[in-house]
Structure 1
Amino acid sequence: MDQENVSATLTVTAPAEKVFAVLADPTIHSAIDGTGWVQESVDRTPLTEVGQIFRMDMYHANHPNGDYQVVNKVQMFDPPRAIGWLTGQQQGDGHLEFGGWIWRYDLAPLGPSETEVTLTYDWSAVPQFIRERGIQFPPFGPDHLTNSLHHLAELVSGR
């Protein structure tokens, strides 16, 4: 595959500020996730700035441990237009290692009560040594991004 990112777009019936507020709350991320892998936010503080770290408990049947934890680092924080984070893990020595893949939401207001939301998963910065581990990119099926956007739409319309 030459393209190293996938994205999906959905129009959500909510103002961009409301959508952004949901995305900036890591305690809601498990309800947005379209795969069921995201279990619970370890860090419950809302996202407020580039460089902020937040951890999520995860589960994946094909992961060596089943249950595991990811560390995310906010890379884009532009309320209410864009938010995104790198995903990685904490090493045994406490060092944080990020794999080079990023989750990004871009929000475009379509009026006072509608927002076009684009979710992008980009793995173009994944280093060769990680690619050689045999990790498939993207590590989820084609419906994941669309499912996540539909979950987001349900959450913001119910708030």
Structure 2
Amino acid sequence: MTTTDKQITVKRTVNASAHDIFDVLTRPDRHAALDGSGFVRSADHPQRITATGQTFTMNMTGEHMGGDYQTDNHVTAYHTNKLVAWQTSPTGTQPPGWEWLWELAPEGPDSTVVTLTYDWSKVTDKDVLRQVSFPMVTEDQLEESLANLAAAVSS
């Protein structure tokens, strides 16, 4: 695990193929079960992520937003069985710069090192930096997301 003042990265070896893990990560309808923060509730009209440039909407909840809200997630990276990433924003707005990156490194047919990075280094808007207390998700919550992913691909 690596923590800087603008990024948290956690890693875990998952006993599943990169293909099976990528299959779960690219299905927004599975994200609520993976989320270790408790913010993600469900996907709104979920469709599989298949390319950069796509946007998927998630139903969220959190006191930091006064209860229930939605986010648009703009896919910024997509490489089959290796990488998927997105920047999150309140629905209907452009992403202010925080990003989620899931990287997969196969260690054989049934073992993959999964790296999850929560990166807010591209947030430059001073109003956003005043309003949002980064990091909003802790290292422990990211570790929980990796544990949830491991459970999801083994079931």
TM-score by length of 2: 0.94
- Give distance in 2, aligned partners of 1:140 and 1:19: 22
2:69 corresponds to 1:68: yes
2:138 corresponds to 1:137: no
- Give distance in 2, aligned partners of 1:55 and 1:90: 7
Equivalent position amino acid for 1:57 in 2: N
**Gap regions ≥5 residues in structure 1:** none
Distance change (3 Å), C-alpha of 1:153 and 1:2? closer
Aligned with 1:52 (options 50, 54, 77): 54
How many aligned positions are there?
152
Aligned to 1:125: 122
- Give distance in 2, aligned partners of 1:2 and 1:117: 19
CA contact (8 A) 2:84 2:103 kept: yes
Matches within 5 A, 1:4-83: 4-64=6-66, 66-83=67-84
- Give distance in 2, aligned partners of 1:151 and 1:90: 26
Distance change (3 Å), C-alpha of 1:38 and 1:2? closer
Aligned to 1:85: 86
- Report the secondary structure of 2:102's partner residue: strand
CA contact (8 A) 2:96 2:125 kept: no
**Gap regions ≥5 residues in structure 2:** none
- Give distance in 2, aligned partners of 1:121 and 1:60: 18
- Give distance in 1, aligned partners of 2:74 and 2:125: 21
CA contact (8 A) 1:48 1:77 kept: yes
TM-score by length of 1: 0.91
- Give distance in 2, aligned partners of 1:80 and 1:153: 15
- Give distance in 2, aligned partners of 1:72 and 1:12: 25
Percent identity of equivalent pairs: 37
- Report the secondary structure of 1:98's partner residue: coil
Pairwise CA distance, 1:63: 1.7
Aligned-pair RMSD on alpha carbons? Answer: 1.3
- Give distance in 2, aligned partners of 1:131 and 1:3: 13
- Give distance in 2, aligned partners of 1:51 and 1:128: 22
